[in-house]
A = this chain, B = another copy of it.
Amino acid sequence: MTAYEDLTAHARETMALGQIAGRLGWDQETMMPRGAAAQRGEEMAAIESVLHARRTDPRIGDWLAAIKSEDLDDVGRAQVRHITRSFERANKVPADLAATLARVTSTAQGTWAEARSNDDVAAFLPTFEEVINLKRWEGQALAAGEDVYDAMLADYEPGTSGADLAEMFNEMRPELTALRAAIIAAEQPKRLEGRFDESKQMKLTRQLAKTFGYDMSHGRVDKAVHPFSSGSGLDVRITTRTSETDPFNCLYSTIHEVGHACYEQNIDRAYLLTPLGQGVSMGVHESQSRIYENQIGRSRAFTSWLYTQMVEAFGDIGLDDAEAFYAAVNRVNDGYIRTEADEVQYNLHVMLRFDLERALMSGDLAVGDLEAAWNDRFAADFGYEVDKPSNGVLQDVHWPVGLFGYFPTYSLGNVYAGCLNDAMTQAVPDLDDDLAKGDTTAATGWLRSNVQTYGGLYEPRDMIAKASGMEPGPKPLLAYLNRKFSDIYKL
């Protein structure tokens, strides 16, 4: 066997074990009996320890060295690029630091949940300080003298820097705050109100999943506290949630997760259980979930069809026609919570976090000053004060569990979705006619063959550039948002 064959056989088994760890995570959120948590913790630790040993296996270094003399095609070079990155990353972080981080962030999640439910920032500060110190230590190990935050970004979005993102956000912020202000000052459309049977929501949500091309023979839809997508290849499962008074939460969570899941399901099967057989980055992943959810799912054309489905499922839903339904789906509300934000305000929530986490990691912002910094920035961008920490600095689980550099990939996903949407609407001229019939085949088919099928073959920005035919940037997204919301709100 060649070194390349040895290396990829090893990586394949590691990938299979990684899928198992993911499946355990799914089980934990959906099926696991509540008394099993302690045992599951040990099981997860055991498989993570196996995975860590495999990722740092010194034979990988030998194989990578030997491969330099082997002749590889594009696919082979991409596989080697992913494996090299993972191997170097795993070896940069000392094993005892990795173990301490795993233990501390696991405990921190509980401390944070408690602090959030009591709106008690002070109770979380000592733990948070420990998490931040450990993450900075890890960041320094990863950065090896370069920028710490950039090194963290590389875990989620290789090829992007803090400076790139700052430039992107600087372009977006004034336009979005201006659009937001104009909308808030305009007349608000009617909300969706009433009570909606939750089993009917689940029935409609499963139908929507299929409408967007989700393959139920390689997936399933369950309820969980948080919607998520899990797994790659032949077994990609999603969860959603229901609330009797808010069916949009269920339906649009499903469409969002279906976007993630279809990306994983539609990767070229030749890459199954290889490093190329997964979405290439968080940003590109989010571009798929967002374009399914927003540019397609919240379009006037598609919501006109969805309106008929809602009326069929629930009878009179208190909105006069498809146009009123379209406005209700896209209603922009004041609110503190990122996960409940609309297309216009979502990125304002993200850029607030981006600036603060970058300052935390550089040491420019002390953890003791974080709450005040959050509240000041929120008031500046949204025009009203944060009322309590659970609506402010304590709202997200990301920082407590050590995810720094993750938030900006949400906005990157929106920006990429904007670029892809421009290209998709040009490539599929009858798109709106199809969507108005509840037919997403042409749209999802274009995304499948221009993005999803490639898996990890191209670098994230290159992938979007290749698919959209443009250098990725926020202009298409901003133009789309201005167009769409100026129309809905008659600005």
Q: Is A39 within 8 A of B234, CB to CB? A: yes
Determine if A233 is an interface residue (Cβ-Cβ < 8 Å).
Answer: yes
Q: Specify which of B17, B35, B215, B233 is in contact with A39 (CB 8 Å cutoff).
A: B233
| A16 CB to nearest B CB, Å | 4
A32's closest neighbor in chain B, by CB?
B235
Q: Name A residues whose Cβ lies closer than 8 Å to a Cβ of B.
A: 12-13, 16-17, 19-20, 23-24, 27, 31-40, 42-43, 45-47, 49-50, 215-220, 233-235, 237, 272-273
Q: Is B31 within 8 A of A273, CB to CB? A: no
Q: Is B49 within 8 A of A13, CB to CB? A: yes
Q: Is A16 within 8 A of B35, CB to CB? A: no
A216 to B34, CA, bound (A): 9
| A335 CB to nearest B CB, Å | 36
- Which of chain B's residues have a CB closer than 8 A to the CB of A49? 13
| A20 CB to nearest B CB, Å | 5
Given A46-B13, A235-B39, residue A33 in contact with residue B272 (CB < 8 A): no
Q: Is B218 within 8 A of A33, CB to CB? A: yes
Q: Specify which of B27, B34, B45, B216 is in contact with A217 (CB 8 Å cutoff).
A: B34
Q: Is B36 within 8 A of A235, CB to CB? A: yes
Q: What are 17 A-to-B residue pairs whose CB atoms are below 8 Å?
A: A12-B42, A16-B39, A16-B47, A17-B46, A17-B50, A19-B43, A20-B46, A23-B27, A27-B27, A33-B217, A33-B219, A33-B234, A33-B235, A35-B215, A37-B234, A39-B234, A39-B272
A214 to B273, CA, bound (A): 38
A302 to B126, CA, bound (A): 58
What 5 pairs across the A-B complex have the smallest Cβ distances?
Answer: A36-B235, A16-B46, A35-B217, A39-B234, A35-B218
| A212 CB to nearest B CB, Å | 17
Q: Is A40 within 8 A of B235, CB to CB? A: yes
A17's closest neighbor in chain B, by CB?
B46
Q: Is A31 within 8 A of B220, CB to CB? A: yes
| A64 CB to nearest B CB, Å | 21
A13 to B34, CA, bound (A): 22
Task: Identify the interface centre among A42, A45, A219, A273: most chain B CB within 10 Å of its CB.
Answer: A42
Q: Is B27 within 8 A of A234, CB to CB? A: no
| A262 CB to nearest B CB, Å | 14
A16's closest neighbor in chain B, by CB?
B46
- Which of chain B's residues have a CB closer than 8 A to the CB of A33? 216-220, 234-235, 237
Task: Identify the interface centre among A23, A34, A217, A233: most chain B CB within 10 Å of its CB.
Answer: A23
| A356 CB to nearest B CB, Å | 38
A208 to B465, CA, bound (A): 61
A215's closest neighbor in chain B, by CB?
B35
- Which of chain B's residues have a CB closer than 8 A to the CB of A273? 39, 42
- Which of chain B's residues have a CB closer than 8 A to the CB of A31? 31, 220
- Which of chain B's residues have a CB closer than 8 A to the CB of A215? 35
- Which of chain B's residues have a CB closer than 8 A to the CB of A217? 33-35
Task: Identify the interface centre among A13, A215, A216, A272: most chain B CB within 10 Å of its CB.
Answer: A13
A237's closest neighbor in chain B, by CB?
B33
| A489 CB to nearest B CB, Å | 42
A50 to B51, CA, bound (A): 10
A45 to B38, CA, bound (A): 26
- Which of chain B's residues have a CB closer than 8 A to the CB of A43? 16-17, 19-20, 23
